[in-house]
């Protein structure tokens, strides 16, 4: 497995990470614990060392699954988790990054993950009620205490990245980014490059759309699948956006690859400090995704992708209004 650096503090991870959320929450029913453990351990056996979870996934259950699966190899993996959502009765009801909450979540996460340190602790969403300097001050204390090794920010804008980095270096920024979700390119990626911050795209496969497995007839269960409320996943938007998948299929056929591998290889080709974390809840998905690390997109391939994407007007917002309102733009 090829490795990459996140930030300037020595955080080394596999070029592709595993987003564990889907094992417990988000895009369908949770898998059985035994299945989840098998998937996570298979990922490690195949060279993945970077695993992403959060308190809010489940909530709580995803951290416990990751902790149980990876406990035997704890010293050989990098585990990222997140704080910052206010949870009531298992539902997200806003943000909460008060210092006392950050500390309480850190302690709970350490227990759930069966570890005595968190490799990478993200603020899941910027809290408009708590200055980012106060948040980072608390994280800096946790780093000094050895409970956290590095910290990151998720769904964050350029201004808050700069403010946070001035207090203590940011190791990684995790925003949604893929071949059809390009907002970070305007300001966030340039700031990360300037300051030496790693970038971890969530949703690198368009929350499933870029796999080619979704079409206008696909329906999402509103009780278990967040995409049921995403404007980009209405039947009309899916149909309008199919040229993106057609483009990926064309490139994939020429390169002897799959659309998934082209979508991930495109991200890996953007910057050497970008580490995608596709959700992988089946071992077959791991095997497919990992081949992207060896797919070489040359300058002509990248120009063709840009030219064809410039002719496609993506339909639908990337998230629903509630989640978009909590993103820092």
Distance CA 289, CA 282 (A): 11
Distance CA 57, CA 24 (A): 7
Half-sphere exposure of 202 (CA within 13 A, CB side): 23
Would you call 314 helix, strand, or coil by DSSP? coil
DSSP assignment of 43-79, as one string? HHHTT--EEE--TTTTTTHHHHHHHHHHGGGGGG-EE
Distance CA 320, CA 75 (A): 38
Distance CA 134, CA 132 (A): 5
pLDDT of residue 89: 87
Cβ pair 300, 55 in contact under 8 A: no
| DSSP run (H or E) holding 236 | helix 235-255
Per-residue confidence band for 314, with pLDDT thresholds at 50, 70 and 90:
very high
Biggest alpha carbon–alpha carbon distance for the chain: 54
Task: Of 209, 268, 279, give the one whose Cα is nearest residue 52.
Answer: 279
Burial of 314 (0-12, 13-18, 19+ CB in 10 A): middle
pLDDT, averaged across the chain: 97
Distance CA 116, CA 111 (A): 8
Is residue 24 predicted with pLDDT exceeding 90?
yes
Domain boundaries, the chain: 3-325
Cβ pair 24, 53 in contact under 8 A: no
Q: In what order do the strands lie in the sheet with 118-123?
A: 18-19, 50-52, 78-83, 118-123, 148-154, 172-174, 198-199
- Kindly state the average pLDDT of the residues 159-178: 98
CATH superfamily of 3-325: NADP-dependent oxidoreductase domain (3.20.20.100)
Active site residues per annotation: 57
Distance CA 180, CA 209 (A): 10
For residue 23 the two structure tokens come to 């094992």
Q: pLDDT for 27-86, tens place per residue? A: 999 999 999 999 999 999 999 999 999 999 999 999 999 999 999 999 999 999 999 999
Cβ pair 84, 127 in contact under 8 A: yes
Q: Return the DSSP state at 80.
A: E
Residue 89 or 296, more confident: 296
Cβ pair 255, 291 in contact under 8 A: no
Per-residue confidence band for 228, with pLDDT thresholds at 50, 70 and 90:
very high
Distance CA 318, CA 232 (A): 6
- Kindly state the average pLDDT of the residues 201-213: 98
């Amino acid at each position: 497995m090829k490795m990459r650096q996140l930030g300037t503090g020595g955080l080394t991870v596999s070029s592709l990470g595993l987003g564990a959320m889907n094992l417990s929450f988000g895009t369908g029913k949770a898998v059985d614990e035994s299945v989840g453990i098998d998937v996570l351990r298979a990922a490690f056996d195949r060279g993945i060392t970077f695993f992403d979870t959060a308190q809010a996934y489940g909530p709580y259950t995803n951290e416990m699954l990751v902790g149980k699966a990876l406990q035997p190899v704890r010293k050989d993996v990098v585990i990222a988790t997140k704080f910052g959502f206010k949870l009531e009765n298992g539902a997200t009801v806003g943000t909460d990054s008060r210092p006392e909450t950050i500390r309480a979540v850190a302690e709970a996460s350490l227990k759930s993950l069966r570890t005595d340190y968190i490799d990478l602790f993200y603020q899941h969403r910027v809290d408009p009620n708590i200055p980012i300097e106060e948040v980072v001050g608390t994280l800096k204390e946790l780093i000094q205490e050895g409970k956290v090794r590095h910290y990151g920010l998720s769904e964050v804008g350029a201004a808050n990245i700069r403010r946070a980095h001035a207090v203590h270096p940011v190791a990684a920024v995790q925003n949604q980014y893929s071949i059809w979700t390009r907002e970070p390119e305007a300001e966030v990626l340039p700031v990360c490059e300037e300051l030496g911050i790693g970038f971890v795209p969530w949703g690198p496969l368009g929350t499933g759309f870029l796999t080619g497995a979704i079409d206008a007839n696909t329906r999402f269960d509103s009780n278990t699948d967040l995409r049921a409320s995403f404007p980009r996943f209405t039947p009309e938007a899916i149909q309008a956006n199919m040229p993106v998948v057609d483009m990926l299929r064309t490139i994939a056929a020429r390169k002897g690859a799959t659309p998934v591998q082209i979508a991930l290889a495109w991200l890996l080709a953007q910057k050497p400090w970008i580490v995608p974390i596709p959700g992988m809840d089946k071992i077959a998905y791991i095997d497919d995704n990992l081949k992207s690390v060896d797919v070489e997109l040359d300058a002509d391939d990248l120009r063709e992708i840009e030219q064809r994407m410039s002719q496609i007007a993506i339909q639908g917002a990337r998230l629903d209004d509630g989640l978009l309102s909590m993103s820092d733009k």
